């Protein structure tokens, strides 16, 4: 374990505790005394599925390129986080099998590492995919800089969040293509540390609030009988 | 004076602090400033200024929250774009939260995250209410409701006189000298409520519903003390006032032994009474509520009234009131009624929960200082109506009727605006 591992672990703990603190505040919902007309569960299900599709949301179908870029960008972010955690846990994560990778000798390896060809192709896949998602992040950033309305709406945090996440994805992609380089993984770990320390401070905390917002939205429309999975008009 | 304002600002901040429950915390932390909500808001569509984007309205309140309730906001206020609760912020809040939002909620379902934007706007209005900064025009409407029992300050005698005149009209209409519009009658099943605009400006809509009730043999009454379904206290963020208005109607129903309150054709009033009122009173009502639209649909389904759709042959369209439809779940009933009463019906596009507000919601009709904006955003509705080619626009909301009448004149649509009760009465 290097200093970069420990820094990342500390940042993760900080981020996790902060997120947990917010999450706990969201558990107790305000009591609603009105009699229901529809089903909260049905509304929440709709809110988290069909209601998010381009067929239902103007923010999606009227802005399809941005919507698609946003979806890819978010998939890239979560993928990068998962890859980072796996690299933190498995010292030889997705490195081609070298024959001396045994548990108990201070190293560990990932199950896929026994197949050289597969690992190389998998790394290449992730590298390309994350490069694409990073480009989506850059595109969103450019839009924020150049679109008059969006610029007026944005604050420093909006730019920083976008930059940090995009860089994080870029470093994830680089690690995938250059696993043996001495600087790539430490750089990724430093970027991950920055990201996880920054996450609780700014808008990136929507990782927690997004889920709560979708729940609230579905509960509101579900209880009032506006949104329903059974409604054929939906 | 300055000290007084400082105290009032503190009161607003204390109010925000005391209302930070899971719902509000979520709404204040969820907006990611993607800016995609603009195209769902009629103010932004019509006026094309950044300040009218729903996200910008949310940010006014969320920025204050971030400034006083987050670590980054307290230590690095510029980082997250926080707002001090200063005079500049307050001016912006009054102008956009009161003057540029109908709280229609159209942006909510289309928001990329699902932020409850009108809920944040209402929280901002509540903070302004705490500071005594509600626009005078709408505040006077609330004051009238609280002080006189109805928002138009109609005297009891004037109301009785109007109903007496309408009673004669009803007897003539149904050719029955025993037909009555019951006032303060005990032992009835239902208490009917009206928008005070009806006795004041549109008394024939009371005649219409009275005719329907007569033919359906309904057991009902109007109260001469509390009959006002509107609740502008809800719009100004005065929760205590809203509770008082709600409680009066519930108590009035109990007083006359009615087990159901019929929510007259008023979108926000129905929403306030049906969905928000129990939470202001912090208990379930001891009586039931039903909207007039649901009741009329039920009459037709049960065969208690038999409309003749050949009587109305003009092309008819429906305007969906936001608070009744998108925020109240009364979606298909008005379509069922109109299809039963009219031979030619066409939908507006978009419609149902996706419909655009007429422009009069959120208390806009009661705030004359924003009339120009209200008429500009009304163009979207005017274009929607014109595109249908309809001659009659039916809407189950008297505030919508007012706004639609205004845009009918402004944009020379040449249509007739009717309530649901009126269209049913015409078909009987």
Nearest residue of chain A to residue B109 (CA atoms): A57
Write the CB contacts of B164 (distance below 8 Å, at least 6 apart in sequence).
none
pLDDT at A105: 44
B212: closest CA of chain A, how far (Å): 25
- Kindly state whether B18 is in contact with chain A, defined as any CB-CB distance less than 8 angstroms: no
Q: Which domains does chain B have, with CATH numbers?
A: 2-133 (1.10.1060), 149-297 (3.40.50), 307-426 (3.40.50)
Lookup: tokens for B315: 């092309």
Write the CB contacts of B216 (distance below 8 Å, at least 6 apart in sequence).
B299, B304, B305
Which pLDDT tens digit goes with each residue over B61-88?
Answer: 999 999 999 999 999 999 999 999 999 9
CB contact under 8 A, B80 and A155: yes
Which pLDDT tens digit goes with each residue over A115-168?
Answer: 567 778 888 899 999 999 999 999 999 999 999 999 999 999 999 999 999 999
Nearest-CB residue to B53 (from A153, A201, A233): A153
Quote ipTM for the complex.
0.94
pLDDT at A37: 95
Question: Mean pLDDT across chain B, nearest whole number?
Answer: 95
Query: Is pTM beyond 0.90 here?
Result: yes
Write out the E strands in B264-415: 288-291, 315-318, 344-346, 392-394
Which residue stretches of B32-188 are H helix?
A: 42-47, 54-69, 71-75, 87-93, 106-110, 117-130, 136-148, 156-174
CB contact under 8 A, B72 and A201: yes
Q: How confident is the model at residue A232 (pLDDT cuts 50, 70, 90)?
A: low
Q: Please state which of the ranges A183-187, B221-225, B246-250 shows the lowest mean pLDDT.
A: A183-187
Nearest-CB residue to B108 (from A22, A148, A217): A217
Domain map of chain A by residue range? 63-96+108-203
Q: Which of residues 79-138 of A touch B (CB under 8 A)?
A: none
Backbone angles phi, psi at B393, to 5 degrees: -110, 120
């Amino acid at each position: 374990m290097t200093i970069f591992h420990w820094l990342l672990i500390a940042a993760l703990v900080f981020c996790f505790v902060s997120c947990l603190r917010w999450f706990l505040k969201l558990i107790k919902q305000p009591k609603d005394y009105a009699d229901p007309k529809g089903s909260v569960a049905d509304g929440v299900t709709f809110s988290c599925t069909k209601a998010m599709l381009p067929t239902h949301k103007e923010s999606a179908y009227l802005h399809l390129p941005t919507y698609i870029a946003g979806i890819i960008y978010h998939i890239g972010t979560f993928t990068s986080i998962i890859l980072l955690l796996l690299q933190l846990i498995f010292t030889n994560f997705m490195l081609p099998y070298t024959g001396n990778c045994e548990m108990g000798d201070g190293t560990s390896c990932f199950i896929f590492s026994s197949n050289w060809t597969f690992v190389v192709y998998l790394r290449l896949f992730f590298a390309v995919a994350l490069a694409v998602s990073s480009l989506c992040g850059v595109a969103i950033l450019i839009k924020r800089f150049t679109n008059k309305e969006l610029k007026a709406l944005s604050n420093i945090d909006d730019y920083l969040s976008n930059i940090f996440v995009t860089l994080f994805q870029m470093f994830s992609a680089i690690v995938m293509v250059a696993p043996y380089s001495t600087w790539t993984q430490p750089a990724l770990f430093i970027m991950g540390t920055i990201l996880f320390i920054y996450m609780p401070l700014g808008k990136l905390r929507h990782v927690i609030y997004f889920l709560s917002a979708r729940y609230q939205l579905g509960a509101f429309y579900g209880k009032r009988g506006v949104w329903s999975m059974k409604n054929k008009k939906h | 004076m300055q000290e007084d304002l400082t105290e009032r600002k503190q009161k607003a901040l204390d109010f925000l602090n005391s209302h930070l429950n899971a719902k509000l915390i979520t709404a204040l932390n969820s907006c990611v400033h993607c800016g995609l909500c603009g195209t769902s808001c009629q103010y932004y569509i019509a006026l094309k200024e950044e300040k009218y984007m729903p996200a910008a309205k949310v940010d006014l309140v969320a920025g204050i929250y971030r400034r006083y309730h987050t670590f980054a906001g307290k230590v690095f206020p510029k980082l997250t774009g926080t707002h001090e609760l200063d005079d500049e912020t307050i001016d912006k809040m009054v102008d956009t939260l009161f003057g540029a939002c109908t709280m229609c909620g159209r942006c909510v379902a289309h928001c990329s995250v699902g932020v409850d934007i009108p809920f944040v706007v209402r929280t901002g209005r509540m903070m302004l209410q705490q500071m005594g900064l509600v626009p005078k025009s709408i505040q006077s409407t609330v004051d009238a409701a609280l002080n006189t029992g109805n928002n138009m300050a109609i005297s009891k005698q004037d109301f009785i006189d109007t109903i007496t005149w309408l009673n004669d009209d009803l007897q003539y209409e149904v050719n029955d000298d025993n037909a009555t519009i019951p006032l303060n009658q005990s032992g009835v099943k239902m208490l009917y409520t009206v928008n005070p605009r009806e006795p004041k400006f549109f008394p024939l809509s009371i005649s219409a519903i009275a005719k329907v009730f007569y033919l359906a043999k309904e057991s009902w009454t109007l109260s001469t003390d509390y009959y006002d379904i509107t609740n502008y206290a809800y719009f100004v963020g005065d929760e205590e006032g809203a509770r008082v208005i709600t409680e009066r109607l519930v108590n009035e129903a109990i007083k006359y032994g009615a087990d159901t309150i019929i929510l007259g054709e008023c979108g926000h009033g129905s929403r306030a009474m049906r969905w928000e009122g129990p939470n202001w009173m912090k208990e379930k009502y001891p009586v039931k509520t039903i909207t007039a639209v649901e009741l009329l649909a039920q009459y037709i389904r049960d065969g208690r009234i038999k409309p003749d759709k050949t009587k109305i042959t003009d092309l008819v369209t429906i305007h969906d009131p936001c608070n009744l439809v998108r925020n109240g779940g009364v979606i298909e009933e008005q379509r069922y009624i109109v299809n039963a009463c009219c031979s030619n019906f066409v939908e507006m596009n978009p419609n149902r929960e996706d419909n655009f507000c007429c422009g009069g919601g959120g208390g806009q009709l009661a705030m004359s200082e924003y009339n120009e904006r209200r008429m500009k955003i009304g163009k979207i509705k005017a274009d929607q109506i014109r595109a249908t080619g309809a001659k009659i626009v039916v809407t189950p909301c008297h505030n919508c009727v007012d706004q639609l009448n205004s845009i009918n004149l402004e944009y020379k649509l040449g249509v007739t605006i009717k309530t649901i009760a009126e269209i049913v009465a015409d078909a009987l």
